[in-house]
Amino acid sequence: MTWQVIIMFAVSGVAGLVGIGCLLRLAAPNVTQAQVYAFRMIGIMLVSGAIVLGLSAAAMHSWSPPPDPDSDISS
């Protein structure tokens, strides 16, 4: 797995968790109408972005060629 794919999965995970946190914040009893609009919009966008980024990372990982055993990538 390349570093690019690992970073994409990490960003996808963070975005998904923050988005879920925004959506769970809607359950609080003292949320104003403006906060409901903002949390709902931001939460849905972050969760959907996380899904798309995770799918893109999985596709990038599955389509990448296998590493060349003769190359020295440690240097």
pLDDT, one tens digit per residue, over 24-51 is 999 988 999 999 999 999 999 999 999 9
Query: If you search the block for the tokens 């003769």, which residue do you land on?
Result: 70
Domain extents in the chain? 3-11+19-63
What are the helix and strand counts (H, E) for the chain? 2, 0
- List own/partner pairs for 9-14 with CB under 8 A and 24 or more apart: 9/54, 9/57, 11/53, 12/50, 12/51, 12/53, 12/54, 12/57, 13/50, 13/54
Write down the mean pLDDT value for the chain: 89
Q: What is the pLDDT of residue 75?
A: 46
Mean pLDDT computed over 49-59:
96
Q: How confident is the model at residue 71 (pLDDT cuts 50, 70, 90)?
A: low
